[in-house]
Amino acid sequence: MPVVPTTVRTFSSSDRAAAFWRLYWGRGAKTLELPVVASVRDTDDRVVFNRRTIVTAGAPLADGWRSADYRLDLPLAEFVPGEFLLRLEAQPPGSLAVVRQVRFTVR
């Protein structure tokens, strides 16, 4: 894994923090590109950050599955102090969205 996982969810605006997500494609996947939308909302449910990225699957693994790593460096210096919700959403064509969410605080 190219990051060091942590349970820390409170950061100062000068800290560096990143989100990491390993995505998988099953054998016979219809597309090798997957849109990932990262958004951050404040406690008033306002979107304070939004980014769409296309992630492309890597070469097939021995079992035929594919994977790709998604990394997002959070722009903590751009956020006012407060609590936030990071939402990562991947939408495979013809399938339900896969969503991961985590709360964090900037001091």
Please write the tens of the pLDDT for every residue from 65-92: 999 999 999 999 999 999 999 999 998 8
Rounded to 5°, the CA angle 80-72-16 comes to 55
Using a cut of 0.85, tell me whether the model's pTM lies above it: yes
Instruction: Say how far apart CA 30 and CA 94 lie, in whole Å.
Output: 10
DSSP, res 78? G
Phi, psi of 39 (to 5 degrees): -135, 150
pLDDT tens string 14-67:
999 999 999 999 888 888 999 999 999 999 999 999 999 999 999 999 899 999
Beta strand 17-25 with 66-74: parallel, antiparallel or unpaired?
Answer: antiparallel
Instruction: Say how far apart CA 82 and CA 101 lie, in whole Å.
Output: 17
